[in-house]
Amino acid sequence: QFALGDARRPLHETAALVEDIVHTQLITMLHQACEGASLRGSRVISPEDILFLMRRDKRKVARLLKYLQFRDYKSKLLKTVEDEETLQETDKSGIAGGTQRRQRLAQDFLVWMDQTGELLSLAERHEVDPVKQERMERLERQTRTMDQTQYSEFCESRQLSFAKKASKFRDWLDCSSLELKPNSISMEILSYLAYETVAQIVDLSLLVKQEMTAKTNPVGRVISASYIHYNTHTEVKKDPDSPEATPPSTPSSSHSSKSLPQGNGSLDGRGRQRKRKKVCLICNPLKRFCFVIHSV
């Protein structure tokens, strides 16, 4: 997970959760591929059975074909280093042998399955994969702040793969309990899908983390601004009974020489003042809300 953008020391619970998700997904795919292989009368689970399950996700199929092409190139290179003379004789005879068997098997099956040619057209396009490009950019930003020790650990973690330990990977998937066993190319595809599943989980987790730690939330900002304006304009004076907060007395025609009680006032004045508070709080929110809208 560290090579895909996760933390350097992830939580044990997080790693266990990711492992459980990947294991469940691969076991489900294996059982479905086993059913498909038994329906067509095959003795083993072949790459065709897995490609048939992936036919709806065209991007992943195109990415898988590129991976199989890379595996063929790697096998061809290793074979060239080991026995160059044998490779030259094979090229002269015009027989490809096992150097391009993975890609050829997948393409032959897609030709048979894909009636519209859409899958093959995606595989033949030399376009930049947006998902892979985003992962590479994220890793590049992550490595900017690494020292020599951290970068060395990062490079070692990028070299880890399920395909390097095929026997342990088979035991982890419990292939011995299946009625039909996957062949070697199918195990390579399953190891690649396990890696892609982990990468997709990390991508989605980082996306959720980015949304949770967003600096600005437009909806929350509007709500908080309205709340602040509303509370500001609906604020009631704290000490209405104080002499400073009491409005001046209004002269009366019949009692011109007498002034109304100020300060604490009489009981009738307090009652009227409390009624004014209640009416203000009950009836005026709409008016103050309109005032907030006009002022904004």
User: Concatenated DSSP letters for 97-143?
Assistant: TTTTHHHHHHHHHHHHH-SSSHHHHHHH-----HHHHHHHHHHHHHH
Q: What is the DSSP letter of 44?
A: E
Q: What are the DSSP E strand ranges found in the chain? A: 44-45, 181-182
Question: Is 23 domain-assigned?
Answer: yes
Do 70 and 49 share a structural domain? yes
Q: What is the DSSP letter of 213?
A: T
Mean pLDDT, range 150-170, rounded to an integer: 80
Average pLDDT, rounded, for the chain? 70
In terms of residue numbers, what domain contains 276? 218-245+263-295
Do 192 and 128 share a structural domain? yes
Please check whether residue 108 is in contact with residue 95, taking contact to mean a CB–CB distance below 8 angstroms: no
Which H or E element spans position 187?
A: helix 184-212
User: What is the C-alpha separation between 167 and 187, in angstroms, rounded?
Assistant: 10
pLDDT at position 28, please? Answer: 94
pLDDT at position 21, please? Answer: 92
- 235 or 172: which leads in pLDDT: 172
What is the pTM assigned to this prediction? 0.60
Q: What does the block give as tokens for 107?
A: 């393409």
Q: What does the block give as tokens for 198?
A: 């982990």
Mean pLDDT, range 219-244, rounded to an integer: 46
Do 84 and 223 share a structural domain? no
Q: Which residue has the tokens 């951290």?
A: 150
Question: Is 56 domain-assigned?
Answer: yes
Please check whether residue 17 is in contact with residue 11, taking contact to mean a CB–CB distance below 8 angstroms: no
Do 278 and 184 share a structural domain? no
Q: What does the block give as tokens for 279?
A: 């009416």
Please tell me the number of Cα atoms within 13 Å of 186 on its side-chain side. 23
Do 233 and 120 share a structural domain? no
Give 235-263 pLDDT, tens digit per residue.
444 444 545 445 555 555 444 444 444 44
Do 267 and 191 share a structural domain? no
Do 228 and 193 share a structural domain? no
Give 7-38 pLDDT, tens digit per residue.
667 778 888 888 899 999 999 999 999 999 99
Please check whether residue 179 is in contact with residue 38, taking contact to mean a CB–CB distance below 8 angstroms: yes
CA-based max dimension of the chain: 127
Q: Which residue has the tokens 């399950």?
A: 53
Do 98 and 118 share a structural domain? yes
Do 284 and 267 share a structural domain? yes
Please check whether residue 3 is in contact with residue 158, taking contact to mean a CB–CB distance below 8 angstroms: yes
Do 223 and 104 share a structural domain? no
Q: Which residue has the tokens 């809208």?
A: 293
pLDDT at position 33, please? Answer: 93
Do 172 and 227 share a structural domain? no
Provide φ and ψ at 182, rounded to 5°: -75, 145
How many structural domains compose the chain? 2
Mean pLDDT, range 74-101, rounded to an integer: 58
pLDDT at position 26, please? Answer: 93
Question: Is 258 domain-assigned?
Answer: no
